[in-house]
Amino acid sequence: MTAGIAHHILAFAAQGRRAPIGALTGRATGARMKPTGTAMIATNSLCGGHKRRMLCWAGMVCALLFVPLGAITVNDLLAETRMTPRRFANHFEDFTFQAFPYVQDPDVFLKTANGCCQDYAILGSFVLNHDKFETHLVRVLLVGGEAHDVCYVTQTGTYLDYNLRGFFVNTKHSGRRLREIAAKVAASFDENWTSASEFTYTYADDMKRLTVTVVKTDPPSEDPDAKEGS
């Protein structure tokens, strides 16, 4: 059972349609679901053990419908075993976008399932650092003044991007150099970039500090990270 299944059932209820039991179990059956408010009750000529199983399914669905999709905490993420960039990103598939002029408290971000690229990149860096990954927070400035933050992970050669939160595609491969990361981020917006900076941030002092900056019009050989290679 997943939150996606609950969403699927709610869609049927909102349209006044009957959803097949297969929507719950993944198996096609002749049973139907009858909308009763926001919960669904299995109705059929089934009896005995079959009825009890249908009621059990209905109870599980009701529980899912009342659990917020973002009901995970920072401590939950830190306690998760075998954390990877992809596993981290999997938690954010259903989050929505809203820009804030500040970095949100991470638990507020998780509870509301609502935020922007800086909330996601900074939290990703915080959680993955806890699991011994080396991360680099990168801010890419696009033509027109819009900026976009990502979290590059050295061990995997990928970066976390709030615009890539699908279950199957949720990280982007890139070399380590800021110029390459910036080019890929800009391409995802179908835009050009002007500069890219690495920055640090801690929730304790709530301050972004730029450490390295690459300007697109400068010779690539003079980039501060040129000696590190790709």
pLDDT, position 215: 97
Taking only the tens place, the pLDDT of each residue in 29-74 is 333 333 333 333 232 333 344 444 444 444 443 334 444 444 799 9
pLDDT, position 71: 72
Taking only the tens place, the pLDDT of each residue in 1-22 is 444 444 443 443 344 443 443 3
Which region among 39-53, 108-122, 144-158 has the lowest average model confidence (pLDDT)? 39-53
- Helix (H) / strand (E) containing 37: none
Tell me the mean pLDDT in the region 114-125. Answer: 98
Three-state DSSP class for residue 200: strand
- pLDDT band for 228, please (50, 70, 90 cuts): low
Taken in order of first residue, the domains within the chain and their CATH numbers are 3-65 (no CATH), 74-228 (3.10.620)
Residue 202 CB: number of other CB atoms within 10 A?
12
